[in-house]
Structure 1
Amino acid sequence: MSDGQSPEGRPPETSTGSEATADACRNPASALLDDFLSHDHGERIALGDLMGILGDRAFGALLLLLSIPNVLPVPGLSTVTGLPMILIGAQMLMGLDRPWLPRRVAAATVDRDAFLRVVKRAHPTIDRLERHLRPRLPALTDGTAERLLGLAVIVLAAVLALPIVFGNQPPAFAIALIALGLIEKDGAFVAAGLAAGLVAIAIVAAVVLGLGQAAVLMFHKIFG
């Protein structure tokens, strides 16, 4: 390699800064989905299996996979995916290095075909988002910031797990943005996720308030 070129025949560090950055930050999230889709799954996918597929990848990867079925969404998955995300947020808040799930939670399963179908649907969108991802605003992704993000994930995942019609998509979208920001160390996406989270909480609060007011009116009509 005396000519200073890579095995592919091009200099390893001589591409333009924008191209190098794009190539560097496009692989992780899309590769995560590719690895998951190419895995030999059983008839049902246990949450513990997700941990095995992800290997030593960090919190963002697992949060992304768990949030996707709620963004699109897949009916019936908000609770089974919301609880693990609450646990993951708690582990981030405690400063753990990698996520883990208790045995009973890890044993929970989801339908393989439905899960794979929704991940395939999300893949093109993740590809498009990756074009805008790059390492920036590190103060929002590292150290203390990551621990504080755990608290945000706990709140959003708790809202997501509530049995509210159309109430799981907004917080799931916010978690997905935060997850992408963690995977790619992109503080701008983390900030966007936090902003989306505030909007999601406001939306769900408005829905809950509206349902409460409707219930009160109905009660008065029936018993008043």
Structure 2
Amino acid sequence: MSGYRHLITALKQLRKHAEVGGVTIGHVLDALQEASFCLVALFLALPFLQPLLPLGPFSTAGGFAFIVLGAQLLMGYPEPVLPKRIRGIRVAPKVLKLITVYTLKFLGWCRRYTRLRYLSWVSGRQGQVVTGGIMLAGGLIIIIPFFGIPLNDFFPALAIVSACLGELEQDGLMIFVAFVWLAVGVLYCAFLLITLALFGWEAFSYFF
């Protein structure tokens, strides 16, 4: 996938565009290329990182979005495929500047703790497949309607965020971290399903 240096350069160029009138969503995706998959997924995952507040129907919508992004990565798309009407929406200059400035700061902060390592897991076609698979699997867990149950979206969201940071920062170790969080999410989901099958929804009132 796109290298870290290209990503930083593209974000700085978009920040300049924000100062002279803004651009369309399609232009943003074209500039970021494959990195746009991870940036879109990161923004979508943020609401799921608060573990105690259930998001209700938003979980289903978010899970579906992760599934679509992951499937497109697995199929080798160079950037997220969106309808022309959405690609043509113009991003307000203030919004674009805010997004680029804070994204650059966030990536700079993450760079303190990440390293260039295990590059085969975050580069080329293998990087696409691994990250796309984690997004898709995380989306499948999130889309399960455990409305009102804490933590059911938290672990797969952590997996998606870890995988995205691994791609953006070119740190393959984060992919292993993502697999750990994904495994925890699968086990937690299995626990909820087994509890529901054996005892019904009434059982959750004792725990949550």
TM-score with structure 2 length normalisation? Answer: 0.65
Instruction: Provide the aligned C-alpha RMSD in A.
Output: 3.9
Q: Determine if contact 1:162/1:168 at 8 Å carries over to the other structure.
A: no
Matched residue of 1:77: which SS? helix
The equivalent of 1:56 in structure 2 is: 31
User: Can you list the C-alpha shifts for 1:145-182, whole angstroms capped at 9, x where unaligned?
Assistant: 42133222211111112221221111011100101111
Whole-Å separation in 1 of the counterparts to 2:126 and 2:194 = 34
Matched residue of 2:161: which SS? helix
- Would the alpha carbon gap of residues 96 and 213 (structure 1) be closer, same or farther in structure 2, given more than 3 Å must change? same
Whole-Å separation in 1 of the counterparts to 2:122 and 2:145 = 31
Q: Determine if contact 2:116/2:169 at 8 Å carries over to the other structure.
A: yes
The amino acid across from 1:62 in the alignment is: V
In the alignment, is residue 175 of structure 1 matched against residue 160 of structure 2? yes
Q: Work out which of the residue numbers 160, 174, 180 in structure 1 matches 2:142.
A: 160
Unaligned runs of at least 5 residues, structure 1: 1-23, 40-48, 107-121, 219-224
Q: Work out which of the residue numbers 203, 214, 222 in structure 1 matches 2:188.
A: 203
- Would the alpha carbon gap of residues 210 and 128 (structure 1) be closer, same or farther in structure 2, given more than 3 Å must change? farther
The amino acid across from 1:139 in the alignment is: S
In the alignment, is residue 101 of structure 1 matched against residue 82 of structure 2? yes
Unaligned runs of at least 5 residues, structure 2: 19-23, 88-102, 204-208
For this pair of structures, how many residues does the alignment match?
171
User: Can you list the C-alpha shifts for 1:87-141, whole angstroms capped at 9, x where unaligned?
Assistant: 11111111111112357998xxxxxxxxxxxxxxx99987654321222111111
When structure 1 is superposed on structure 2, of 207-216 and 125-134 the one drifting more is 125-134
Residue 202 of structure 1, CA deviation: 0.9
The amino acid across from 1:161 in the alignment is: I
Q: Determine if contact 1:70/1:77 at 8 Å carries over to the other structure.
A: no
- Would the alpha carbon gap of residues 94 and 214 (structure 1) be closer, same or farther in structure 2, given more than 3 Å must change? same
Q: Work out which of the residue numbers 81, 84, 91 in structure 1 matches 2:72.
A: 91
- Structure of higher CA gyration radius: 1
In the alignment, is residue 214 of structure 1 matched against residue 189 of structure 2? no
Whole-Å separation in 2 of the counterparts to 1:194 and 1:178 = 8
Q: Determine if contact 2:70/2:135 at 8 Å carries over to the other structure.
A: yes
Q: Determine if contact 1:54/1:62 at 8 Å carries over to the other structure.
A: no
- Would the alpha carbon gap of residues 96 and 155 (structure 1) be closer, same or farther in structure 2, given more than 3 Å must change? same
The amino acid across from 2:58 in the alignment is: L
- Would the alpha carbon gap of residues 212 and 124 (structure 1) be closer, same or farther in structure 2, given more than 3 Å must change? farther
Q: Which has the higher contact order (CA 8 A, sep 6+)?
A: 2
Q: Determine if contact 2:127/2:167 at 8 Å carries over to the other structure.
A: no
The amino acid across from 2:144 in the alignment is: L
Whole-Å separation in 1 of the counterparts to 2:188 and 2:86 = 29
